[in-house]
Amino acid sequence: MLNFTHINTLYAMLLYLRLLKESFAFAMNALTSNKLRTFLSLLGVTIGIFSIIAVLAAVDSLDQKIKKDLSSVDKNTMYLKSFSFGPSTIPRWKIQQFPDVTYNEYQSLKESVTGAQFLSFQLFTKNEIIRYENKSANDVSMKPASYEIADIEAVKIAQGRFYNEAESNAGTAVVVLGYEVAQALFGSDNPLEKKVRIYGQRFTVIGVLEKQGSGMMGPSNDTSALIPVNFIRRVYGDNNASITPIIIIKPQPGSDSEAVKAEVTQKLRLLRGIRAGQDDNFMIDILSAFTDLIDGIVSVLNVVGWIIAGFSLLVGGFGIANIMFVSVKERTGLIGIQKSLGAKNRFILMQFLFEAVILCLIGGLVGLLMVWGVAVIATKAFDFEFILSAKNIILGTSLSAVIGLLAGILPAISASKLDPVEAIRSGM
């Protein structure tokens, strides 16, 4: 059975629901009766929410794209070379004197480094034109590499196969084409076993990679072509100025990357005859350090985005507060009449708070719709997946409500504390 406590609680809840309903109705009536003022008020909030959510969504989309591009490569993967990908404490002039890594060093490390699962020898070289009959694919990113690159980068083949160890070691003239390169040369025709011309010689197409999409970390594999590294070594030698060699190392699963790095360092120092106390004359970068650097940059971009958009939100909040004070002034007489008829202070307070919050929520939703529109256009125009996540939608809505509360609290309090008699007299 219901006791008096339960009845009183239920009655209080009904009163508050009625209060909310009437406050909402008053707020909507005030907003719709002053359309121009409402529009000008929510404009500041709209721009503020649009700015901050657009920046956060862009940074999130960029972060997700970079991580997607790197997802196929183990974060513990190492790059052994004569230069540094990022900032280094070693003077630049000294790095420029480091000797290039060699194919013989790759073979020796492959046999001796116990902590490595795969090692691949790759050359950075200039882009080329690939021709087939009267068609050509321009500016193709050439990736001469030993056969292990397929395992290190988890290469996905759509048609055919990747070149094997024998073809890699012999430098056989075979090529695996990226998706866009194959489309440019063959369209819907089967490209396998067709002969294409690269470096003035005929290569047999043995495979086509799956479509990857545009990449943030250098050229996408869609516009690349992979060939056995020993073909380039045989034709151009190891001392060509247009070629930069690197050794890519994938550690054994579950192994400590720093321990593997130390082992590689020790073995290469022995190979090069570097004595104790002498500095290394090579660089080893671990991919995880690069991803940590990216995370740091993303964090900085988020902070900068908050600071920039925060000014827009501040201006929007002041605009809402100003309009609410004007609204209180205009409706002083009405407030006095409401109070004289028994309206409680909390009713007047809720009435103006609801008006401010609803105004900000409308502005925030318009801002979110603008971000969504920009996301759709940017995705189609730039072949880049611009994502408006549920987290950012909730954040934008919550920010709008908070701005409404903060901007409306002082005007609402001033309205709720008006004396009924003085309010009616002022409004006459």
Report the candidate in 358, 361, 344 with the shortest Cα–Cα distance to residue 415.
Answer: 344
Q: Which residues contact 205 (CB under 8 A, 6 or more apart)?
A: 160, 174, 175, 176, 177, 182, 191, 192, 193, 194, 195, 196
Q: Is the pLDDT of residue 172 over 50?
A: yes
Give residue 177's region: left, alpha or beta (phi > 0; psi -120 to 50).
Answer: beta
Instruction: Indicate if 236 and 299 belong to the same structural domain.
Output: no
Residue 59: what pLDDT?
A: 77
Residue 42: what pLDDT?
A: 72
Q: How far apart, in whole angstroms, are the C-alpha atoms of residue 156 and residue 179?
A: 11
By CB neighbour count within 10 A (0-12 exposed, 13-18 middle, 19+ buried), where does 21 fall? exposed
Q: How far apart, in whole angstroms, are the C-alpha atoms of residue 79 and residue 289?
A: 11
Name the residue with tokens 């020898």: 121
Tokens read off for 54: 């657009």
Boundary of a domain, candidates 220, 252, 284: 252
Residue 145: what pLDDT?
A: 95
Tokens read off for 269: 């120092």
Instruction: Indicate if 315 and 413 belong to the same structural domain.
Output: yes
Section 168-173 average pLDDT:
93
Q: Which residues contact 393 (CB under 8 A, 6 or more apart)?
A: 53, 368
pLDDT: which is higher, 86 or 209: 209
Q: Is the pLDDT of residue 148 over 90?
A: yes
pLDDT: which is higher, 69 or 193: 193
Section 352-380 average pLDDT:
82
Q: Dump strand ranges (E) for 233-331.
A: 244-251, 283-286
3-state secondary structure at position 222: helix
Q: How many domains does the chain have?
A: 2
Instruction: Indicate if 301 and 245 belong to the same structural domain.
Output: no
What is the tens place of the pLDDT at every residue in 86-144? 667 777 888 888 889 999 999 999 999 999 899 999 999 989 999 998 899 998 999 99
Residue 93: CB atoms within 10 A of its CB come to: 7
Question: Among the ranges 74-83, 155-164, 380-389, 407-416, which has the highest mean pLDDT value?
Answer: 155-164
Section 257-261 average pLDDT:
89
Residue 370: what pLDDT?
A: 87
Section 327-332 average pLDDT:
74
Instruction: Indicate if 237 and 342 belong to the same structural domain.
Output: no
Instruction: Indicate if 229 and 179 belong to the same structural domain.
Output: yes
Residue 120: what pLDDT?
A: 94
Q: How far apart, in whole angstroms, are the C-alpha atoms of residue 412 and residue 390?
A: 32
Q: How far apart, in whole angstroms, are the C-alpha atoms of residue 276 and residue 268?
A: 13
Section 366-375 average pLDDT:
85
Residue 26: what pLDDT?
A: 63
Residue 1: what pLDDT?
A: 47
Residue 86: what pLDDT?
A: 65
In a domain, 160, yes or no: yes
Stretch among 32-46, 202-216, 253-267 having the lowest mean pLDDT: 32-46
In a domain, 258, yes or no: no
Instruction: Indicate if 214 and 332 belong to the same structural domain.
Output: no
Boundary of a domain, candidates 252, 280, 310: 252
Please give the full DSSP string across 337-387, using - where no structure is assigned. Answer: HHHHTT--HHHHHHHHHHHHHHHHHHHHHHHHHHHHHHHHHHHHHHS----
In a domain, 102, yes or no: no
Work out the mean pLDDT of the chain and round it to a whole number. Answer: 81
In a domain, 319, yes or no: yes
Instruction: Indicate if 206 and 331 belong to the same structural domain.
Output: no
Instruction: Indicate if 63 and 132 belong to the same structural domain.
Output: no
What is the tens place of the pLDDT at every residue in 348-360? 777 778 777 877 8
In a domain, 83, yes or no: no
Q: Which residues contact 44 (CB under 8 A, 6 or more apart)?
A: 312, 315, 316, 317, 318, 319, 320, 363
Domain holding 350, by residue range, is: 19-68+294-427
Residue 285: what pLDDT?
A: 85
Q: Is the pLDDT of residue 428 over 70?
A: no
Helices and strands of the chain, counted as H and E runs: 14, 11
Section 69-95 average pLDDT:
76
Q: What angle do CA 271, 145, 112 make, to 5 degrees?
A: 30
In a domain, 215, yes or no: yes
In a domain, 221, yes or no: yes
In a domain, 335, yes or no: yes
pLDDT: which is higher, 376 or 323: 376
Q: Is the pLDDT of residue 225 over 90?
A: yes
Instruction: Indicate if 123 and 238 belong to the same structural domain.
Output: yes
- For the chain, how are helix, strand and coil distributed in percent, rounded to 5? 60, 15, 25
Does the model's pTM come out above 0.75? no
Residue 165: what pLDDT?
A: 93
Instruction: Indicate if 402 and 350 belong to the same structural domain.
Output: yes
What is the tens place of the pLDDT at every residue in 241-251? 778 899 999 99
Q: How far apart, in whole angstroms, are the C-alpha atoms of residue 102 and residue 32?
A: 76
Q: What angle do CA 330, 336, 341 make, to 5 degrees?
A: 140
pLDDT: which is higher, 423 or 176: 176
Name the residue with tokens 């997607």: 68
Tokens read off for 30: 């005030």
Please give the single-letter amino acid code of residue 147: Y
What is the tens place of the pLDDT at every residue in 28-69? 666 676 677 677 777 777 877 887 788 778 777 777 777 666
Give the distance, in angstroms, between the CA of residue 147 and the centroid of all CA atoms in the same chain. Answer: 31
Q: How far is the CA of 230 from the CAs of 117, 171, 207, in angstroms?
A: 21, 4, 18
Tokens read off for 205: 């197409």
